[in-house]
Amino acid sequence: MNYQPIIDEIYEELLPSLNEGNVANYIPELANINPLQFGISIYDINGNSYNAGTTDKTFSMQSISKLFTCTMALREVGDEIWGRVGLESSGHAFNSIIQLEQEFGVPRNPFINAGAIVITDILQEVFKNPEMDILEFIEDISLNENIAFNIDMATSEESCGHRNSALSYLMKDLGNLNGDVNSVLKLYYKHCSLAMTCEDLAKSTYYLINKGVGVRGTRILKERNVKRLNSLMMTSGLYNNSGDFAYRVGLPAKSGVGGGIVAVLPGEFTIAVWSPNLNKAGSSMAGIKAMELFTTRTEKSIF
């Protein structure tokens, strides 16, 4: 199927409303981005690329990076990670500390902040040079050898990340964080600052629609772990907005406050969108609209 006309149409349609919503203003470096940008990339199971709008400009992955770090942890450590982080949706905002105390420091899933920090702790235990390994992994799955962290972004987030420090110290207190809090958080902010384009992002998630085999034809993840990640994205990929997104779009997805969203239809395509203005739940407004239009018009969703 040729997706080009559909995404061109969606692009035209959304341009007038890109000013709706707000950029993430709690991270200084994100607050300065021109919000009137929009890109959409499709990468299908046969390796065809479809792009509309600004799809070759990098933006900050933010929480989308949690998908990649969770993939790395599953690959290296396997199912043991589920002893330290859960599989259920949280029913609370992404940075809630209440549930964490009530559930003895085990975060509900790897996509809320506390869960992603535990995953980062695991990566730091497993890898000698985790920053380098993360970059190499992303370069491998995205076919792009120039992926980089945005150091200013990472520093900017660290300077205002008191809530994440609180979550981390609480987990440290409850025995679910092995590394030094500051060093784990430094790595966490680094991988959140990953800069990628829509095209990169669409390609890099190819293994999620291809039973675990990536764009280079090598196995990235066991098939059963792909199923697990896709189901986690389905139930928890957009925080406590996941139910609404599941209904509107009907695809497993992961969003980030940088304005990106990536979604997948196993066996068919990946889709990445980027537009910086966010809804109240912290996901790209135009991004959600674009995906809703896309699945409605193509009649392609998991439901």
The verdict on 78 binding its own copies (CB under 8 A) reads no
The verdict on 109 binding its own copies (CB under 8 A) reads yes
The verdict on 230 binding its own copies (CB under 8 A) reads yes
Q: What is the DSSP string of 248-290?
A: HT-S-EEE-TTSEEEEEETTTEEEEEE-S-B-TTSSBHHHHHH
The verdict on 235 binding its own copies (CB under 8 A) reads yes
Strand-pair category, 39-44 with 59-60: unpaired
The verdict on 162 binding its own copies (CB under 8 A) reads yes
The verdict on 234 binding its own copies (CB under 8 A) reads yes
- Look at residues 1, 5, 12 and name the one whose alpha carbon lies nearest to residue 289: 12
Among 12, 101, 136, 152, binds its own copies (CB under 8 A): 101
Burial of residue 247 (CB within 10 Å: 0-12, 13-18, 19+) is: exposed
Say how many residues make up the chain: 303
Q: How far apart are CB 88 and its own copies at their closest, in Å?
A: 4
- What is the x/- site pattern for its own copies, positions 53-72, by CB under 8 A? --------------------
Q: How far apart are CB 191 and its own copies at their closest, in Å?
A: 21
Task: Copy the structure tokens of residue 265.
Answer: 């239809």
The verdict on 227 binding its own copies (CB under 8 A) reads yes
According to CB under 8 A, which residues from 254 to 293 bind its own copies? 266
The verdict on 45 binding its own copies (CB under 8 A) reads no
Name which of 70 and 147 has its Cβ closer to its own copies. Answer: 70
The verdict on 75 binding its own copies (CB under 8 A) reads no
Q: How far apart are CB 243 and its own copies at their closest, in Å?
A: 4
- Look at residues 28, 34, 21 and name the one whose alpha carbon lies nearest to residue 284: 21
Contact 181, 172 (CB under 8 A): yes
| Selected range binding its own copies among 30-38, 62-70, 165-173, 213-221, rule: CB under 8 A | 165-173
Q: How far apart are CB 231 and its own copies at their closest, in Å?
A: 4
Q: How far apart are CB 171 and its own copies at their closest, in Å?
A: 8
Q: How far apart are CB 139 and its own copies at their closest, in Å?
A: 26
The verdict on 28 binding its own copies (CB under 8 A) reads no
Among 102, 128, 129, 280, binds its own copies (CB under 8 A): 102
The verdict on 83 binding its own copies (CB under 8 A) reads no
104: left (phi over 0), alpha (psi -120 to 50) or beta: left
**C-alpha pair distances (Å), 228 with each of 86, 129, 180, 191, 284:** 12, 27, 29, 22, 24
**92-98: which pairs have CB atoms within 8 A and are 24 or more residues apart?**
92/240, 93/239, 93/240, 94/63, 94/239, 94/240, 94/282, 95/163, 95/164, 95/167, 97/163, 97/166, 97/167, 97/170
| Whole-number Å distance between alpha carbons of 180 and 188 | 12
Q: How far apart are CB 12 and its own copies at their closest, in Å?
A: 24
| Whole-number Å distance between alpha carbons of 29 and 7 | 30
Chain residues binding its own copies by CB under 8 A are 86-92, 96-99, 101-102, 108-109, 162-163, 165-170, 172-173, 181, 226-228, 230-232, 234-236, 240-244, 246-247, 250, 252, 266, 301-303
